[in-house]
Amino acid sequence: MNTRKKTARLAGLYYLFNVVLSVLYMEYIPSLIPVWNNPESTLENLINHETLFRVGILLGIAVHISFILLPITLHKLLGHINKHFALMMVVFALISVPISFTLLIDQYELLGIFKDYGTMDLIGQREAGLEVLTFYETLYDGFLLCQTYWGLWLFPFGYLVFKSGFLPKFLGIALMLGCITYMIDIIGSTLFANYHEHVDTMTLIIPAAIGEIGICLWLLIIGTKDNIKF
């Protein structure tokens, strides 16, 4: 196996780790705990899922590590195509890491609730539940802020894929469209209070999902293939 294909498959492996762990860390685990406007049920869910919550912190750390390794490996694979776009790809991706990593600090602070829960009265439990709800509101706001860079890095990445000649052009187009739809979602969420009543974010980011999952699997399974026409 040539060096380029090895690098491509290594990038695909990092991408797979990032995608799978991100779904668990940002989607699955948070879906089990907060019950909006019900701090008592929220606290109960947190206590019942203590082990999963703790595992989620470790998953978050692993997500950020994989998102450092991924753009660096992609730069090794694609950097010769256009140095300017390759640098933009790496910078936009890496900027998101310290921002998203700070969100783990509040999760560590919530660990104190598990220790103190047995001594809490009803008022204390309600206050703890409100603290958990506030955390998840901050967490989702933080994810939205990070989405700026999770979107921006896709455009130079998609351009390099499109121009590579050894990766599918349609995946490069999907990645660049994904950047645009991410930006639309961020701008809409910020400017309009009722934005999510009219726009389904999961539908909007379909191009990004196609591009990212598609390029992840292509890199992992096929690696690179010369003279791709599609």
> What is the pTM for the complete model shown?
0.92
Find the mean pLDDT for residues 166-172: 96
The pLDDT value recorded for residue 1 is 59
The pLDDT value recorded for residue 124 is 85
Considering only CA atoms, which of 203, 204, 200, 169 is closest in space to residue 183? 204
Determine phi and psi for 36, rounding to 5 degrees: -60, 135
Residue position matching structure tokens 């921006």 = 152
The pLDDT value recorded for residue 88 is 97
The pLDDT value recorded for residue 163 is 96
Find the mean pLDDT for residues 161-179: 96
At 92-133, the pLDDT tens digits run 999 999 988 888 888 998 898 998 888 888 888 889 999 999
The pLDDT value recorded for residue 219 is 97
Find the mean pLDDT for residues 70-77: 98
DSSP 135-188: HHHHHHHHHHHHHHHHHHTHHHHHHHHHHHSSS-HHHHHHHHHHHHHHHHHHHH
